[in-house]
Structure 1
Amino acid sequence: MDRATDPHPYDALLLLSFGGPEGPDDVLPFLENVTRGRGIPRERLAEVGAHYHLFGGVSPINEQNRTLLAALRADFAAHGLDLPVYWGNRNWGPYLTDTLRDMVRDGRRRVLTLATSAYASYSGCRQYREDLAGALATLAAEGLELPRVDKLRHYFNHPGFLETVTDGVLAALARLPEEVRGGAHLAFSTHSIPDAAADTSGPPAAHGPGGAYVAQHLDAAGHVAAAVREATGGEHPWRLVYQSRSGAPHIPWLEPDISEHLAALHAEGAPGVVMVPIGFVSDHMEVLYDLDTEAMAVAKELGLPAVRSATVGAEPRFVAAVRDLVLERAATERGESPGRCALGALGPSHDICPVGCCPARQAKPAAAGADSPYA
């Protein structure tokens, strides 16, 4: 087999995502899955659930994952990469444990995982690894032979991701009125997390104010802003902002909030803004509600011209980036030294999460890392 399309030693790719409800009756059970063990009052779940009911009780994330799944399979087949692709979710069907069980029964023994989160953080990486460990523990208790499960490196700075984001920003700028386009600001938005979780994100060497989570977002946003400046020939001031805070008010979370930033831009006289959901792979509910609904309403009330750029979704360059990452990791596992694509200043991320990377509040086993009990 040509090494350029050789997935050995891997015999399957697992698309691992968050999951979402697909009808009104799914909303509350889904939110109970997401918040299990955290003591969230039922009335708070109902409040969040109202966001989903604005869209018929359907989150777009599952359908977008089906689209990505089909695109990956088509891309792999078109490029001679013989690697089956499976899909499992953390919080809704198809559930991760059920998918891994199917993979074992299909004879898969070396599984490579693509998480639909591009950055280092507890919720964006280690929690997925904990879910993998939990699923493997369930299969072990059932007496099944466990596969070895690895995880692709963080892809926030892969060209296929960042170039797609850049083109989305350029397309969004073109939708702004011509008279405000040249001076429009860029608001790069990602999910807010507690300061304490940000500070301990990434390997221990990266721990500190904001940790790897903030550093990676700033690096990605800075690269996109520079690429937009080069393409347009104009200066577009930018800032990293946050959305979707859900914690107790007394706990510090990353700021500024996107809506507060829009108000500040208006007060400063900014002519317009492009909201760039750089922290998200697809248009799931927090993009549709927190940006397209809530933040857009704020911008409209302020009289601030605003548009939102697209997420990468299943865009062909992002799909090709996944293929590149799969082949890169496979070659590394075979003892080769493949080229590792990365833009920006931080360079390619680690393949194997080290001990102490994005620690949990309460220690739990996590697969696909240096501290995995399933190596």
Structure 2
Amino acid sequence: MTDGELEVTGPVDALLLLSFGGPEGQEEVIPFLENVTRGRGIPAARLEEVATHYRQLGGRSPINDLNREIIDHVEEELARSGRDLPVYFGNRNWTPMIEETVRQMTADGVRTAAVFATSAWGGYSGCAQYQEDIARAREQVPGAPSMVRLRQFYDHPLFIERFASDLRAAREAAAPGARVVFTAHSVPEAADAVAGPPALGGRLYSRQVAEASRLVA
């Protein structure tokens, strides 16, 4: 996709929070990593090497808990505004898998859902792959609801202001002359090079990270 996302132009009767997923116990670490790397021929020894990072945390990634916290806040805000909109949770690589969630949404009679993907950025893994996840899940579930992705939020004013506020606090607490270094979750050049739909060309990931950094600074 390009920098812009499809906007929801009609009524929706559900919201789906779509994320990457993560293990929640030691026994889940290797199966999770096998899901992440499926089809890439990654040696088992390499998976074990990566697994040590999760095992140091008891085998539990914080991502699912953070997403559940987001959902709690969204549901509270919906209740305050008087919106009767159920919120669902689905992942790409670990339970609750998006296919399971779409199956439940279909059983609940959901017709049209807005999809909030937790990656702020464009590029393949942060954007187009989530589109593939949605398409795959809908193909596997007869009668699945229509789904539309909400906009990427790398430049959303609230997203930027939170980072800017934290940066101001850090600068005040830092030693005089301390330098500010912006980092990215993915390796920008590698992320830009991943093959994907033609619309993802033009170093989309790098441009969005640079623009967010500019706005925060």
Q: Percent identity?
A: 49
**What per-residue deviation string (whole Å, max 9, x for no partner) do you get for residues 133-176 of structure 1?**
1111111xxxx312111101111111110001111212333443
| Counterpart code for 2:177 | G
The 8 Å contact of residues 188 and 206 in structure 2, kept in 1 or not, is answered as no
- What is the aligned partner in structure 1 of residue 122 from structure 2? 120
The 8 Å contact of residues 123 and 200 in structure 2, kept in 1 or not, is answered as no
**What per-residue deviation string (whole Å, max 9, x for no partner) do you get for residues 309-359 of structure 1?**
xxxxxxxxxxxxxxxxxxxxxxxxxxxxxxxxxxxxxxxxxxxxxxxxxxx
CA distance in 2, matches of 1:62, 1:104: 23
Q: Secondary structure at the match of 1:81?
A: coil
- What is the aligned partner in structure 2 of residue 212 from structure 1? 204
Q: How far does residue 188 in structure 1 lie from its aligned partner after superposition? A: 1.3
CA distance in 2, matches of 1:202, 1:170: 37
CA distance in 2, matches of 1:48, 1:134: 27
- What is the aligned partner in structure 2 of residue 191 from structure 1? 185
CA distance in 1, matches of 2:139, 2:67: 26
Change in 2 beyond 3 A, CA 1:32/1:193: same
| Counterpart code for 1:186 | V
- What is the aligned partner in structure 2 of residue 166 from structure 1? 164
Aligned partner (choices 132, 154, 158) of residue 156 of structure 1 = 154
CA distance in 2, matches of 1:175, 1:52: 31
Q: How far does residue 187 in structure 1 lie from its aligned partner after superposition? A: 1.4
- What is the aligned partner in structure 2 of residue 131 from structure 1? 133
The answer to which structure, 1 or 2, has the higher relative contact order (CA under 8 A, 6+ apart) is 2
Aligned partner (choices 35, 41, 44) of residue 39 of structure 1 = 41
- Listed as ranges, the matches of 1:1-375 within 5 Å are 8-139=10-141, 144-176=142-174, 180=175, 182-193=176-187, 195=189, 197-198=191-192, 204=198, 207-208=201-202, 211-225=203-217
| Counterpart code for 1:15 | L
Provide structure 2 residue ranges, at least 5 long, that are not aligned to the other structure.
1-8
The 8 Å contact of residues 201 and 212 in structure 1, kept in 2 or not, is answered as no
Q: How far does residue 54 in structure 1 lie from its aligned partner after superposition? A: 0.9
| Counterpart code for 1:218 | A
The 8 Å contact of residues 104 and 146 in structure 1, kept in 2 or not, is answered as yes
The 8 Å contact of residues 202 and 212 in structure 1, kept in 2 or not, is answered as no
Q: Secondary structure at the match of 1:189?
A: coil
CA distance in 1, matches of 2:172, 2:71: 30
Could you state the TM-score of these two structures normalised by the residue count of structure 2? 0.89
Q: Secondary structure at the match of 2:183?
A: strand
CA distance in 1, matches of 2:196, 2:182: 21
Q: Secondary structure at the match of 2:73?
A: helix
| Counterpart code for 2:159 | F
The 8 Å contact of residues 14 and 86 in structure 2, kept in 1 or not, is answered as yes
- What is the aligned partner in structure 1 of residue 6 from structure 2? none
The 8 Å contact of residues 16 and 113 in structure 1, kept in 2 or not, is answered as yes
The 8 Å contact of residues 162 and 224 in structure 1, kept in 2 or not, is answered as yes
Q: How many residues of Structure 1 are paired with residues of Structure 2 in the alignment?
A: 210
Provide structure 1 residue ranges, at least 5 long, that are not aligned to the other structure.
1-6, 226-375
Q: Secondary structure at the match of 1:154?
A: coil
CA distance in 2, matches of 1:149, 1:192: 27
- Alpha-carbon RMSD across the aligned residues, in angstroms, is 2.2
- What is the aligned partner in structure 2 of residue 269 from structure 1? none
